[in-house]
């Protein structure tokens, strides 16, 4: 079981994949001059101190963003990795890597005046951190202590009819797997042009193994394009515990995303892979 407090896991290999994809999706939406919304159903605390006791206790960032950060000045960085590192630099000072930006902070850094960020978080400690983090922001960001799956229904379609829905539950509760699929079935018909990004863990659990196929079936029923990317850094442990990889499933992906990930994912396997089982997968389905 994961700790719900993301501070234990901030900057791990799953965050690297998740946030690299997020940056690319936001960059695509920013190409047009029209405003858009970002709806984050499980926002977490916003930003994480990599020097804190939480991060130090797990050490997960050491096998994730720390390894990537060490290569930040390499001349041949893949585009997706380089653009993720730009956002991480914006949260830090100089060459120090003290802070890791969560999805709300990355979005806040990238959005323009006129765009809007809707954040949902239910955990009592995380929502307090999130509210404190954005307390000085008076416009463009809404923070709500609520269940993001339920809150999503009141947000789509967003007024500008453009937007990104980012779903990143903890999956500590098995019901989260079912609710992710149901959230797509409920909301995509109401906002069929939106981009939906779903992160999920690769763990020794039946629900985790079945989720990609369920997401593909849902996308087929909804008649939408999708992209599915996974990054595995090691083989599953013999005791079945721990996170050995993760996946991102994107509905209505920009056409450039496949090529960007096709360049970046092999580099990440080489850079942060731990054993011979490190691997990636990348597939796309267009109508």
- Pure H helices in the chain: 13-29, 53-58, 65-70, 79-89, 103-110, 124-133, 148-152, 175-187, 206-222, 257-272
The pLDDT assigned to 59 comes to: 85
CATH number of this structure's domain 6-285 = 3.40.50.150
Of 49, 95, 168, 225, which one is the catalytic site residue?
168
The pLDDT assigned to 2 comes to: 39
pTM of the model: 0.96
Helix axes 124-133, 103-110, angle to 10 degrees: 20
Assign 279 to helix, strand or coil: strand
The pLDDT assigned to 238 comes to: 77
What the block records as the tokens of 45 is 């605390």
Residues in Cβ contact with 50 at an 8 Å cutoff, skipping those fewer than 6 apart = 10, 11, 61, 97, 98, 99, 100
What the block records as the tokens of 90 is 């914006």
The pLDDT assigned to 4 comes to: 52
Catalytic (active site) residue 168: yes
Model confidence over 74-133: pLDDT tens digits?
A: 999 999 999 999 999 999 999 999 999 999 999 999 999 999 999 999 999 999 999 999
Helix axes 79-89, 257-272, angle to 10 degrees: 80
The pLDDT assigned to 138 comes to: 81
Give φ, ψ of 199 to 5 degrees.
-95, 145
Determine what percent of the chain is predicted with pLDDT higher than 90.
90
Ranges of residues in the chain whose predicted pLDDT is under 70? 1-5, 7, 54-57
CA dihedral 87, 88, 92, 98 (to 10 degrees): 160
């Amino acid at each position: 079981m994961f700790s719900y407090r993301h501070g234990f896991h901030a900057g791990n290999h799953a965050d690297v994949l998740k946030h690299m994809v997020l940056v690319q999706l936001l960059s695509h939406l920013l190409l047009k001059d029209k405003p858009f919304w970002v709806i984050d159903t499980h926002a977490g605390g916003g930003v994480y101190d990599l020097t804190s006791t939480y991060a130090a206790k797990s050490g997960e960032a050491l096998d994730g963003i720390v390894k990537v950060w060490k290569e930040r000045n390499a001349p041949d960085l893949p585009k997706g990795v380089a653009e993720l590192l730009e956002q991480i630099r914006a949260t830090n000072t100089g060459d120090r890597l003290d802070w890791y930006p969560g999805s709300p902070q990355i979005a806040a850094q990238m959005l323009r005046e006129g765009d809007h960020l809707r954040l949902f978080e239910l955990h009592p400690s995380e929502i307090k951190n999130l509210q404190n983090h954005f307390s000085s922001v008076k416009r463009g960001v809404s923070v709500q202590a609520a269940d993001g799956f339920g809150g999503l229904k009141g947000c789509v379609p967003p007024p500008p009819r453009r937007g990104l829905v980012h779903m990143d539950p903890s999956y500590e509760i098995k019901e989260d797997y079912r609710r992710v699929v149901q959230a797509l079935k409920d909301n995509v018909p109401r906002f069929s042009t939106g981009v939906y990004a779903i992160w999920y863990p690769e763990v020794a659990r039946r629900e985790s193994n079945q989720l990609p196929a369920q997401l593909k079936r849902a996308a087929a029923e909804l008649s939408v394009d999708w992209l599915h990317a996974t990054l595995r850094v090691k083989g599953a442990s013999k005791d079945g515990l721990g996170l050995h990889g993760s996946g991102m499933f994107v509905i209505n992906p920009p056409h450039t995303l496949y090529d960007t990930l096709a360049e970046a994912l092999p580099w990440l396997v080489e850079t942060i892979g731990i054993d011979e089982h490190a691997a990636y997968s990348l597939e796309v389905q267009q109508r």
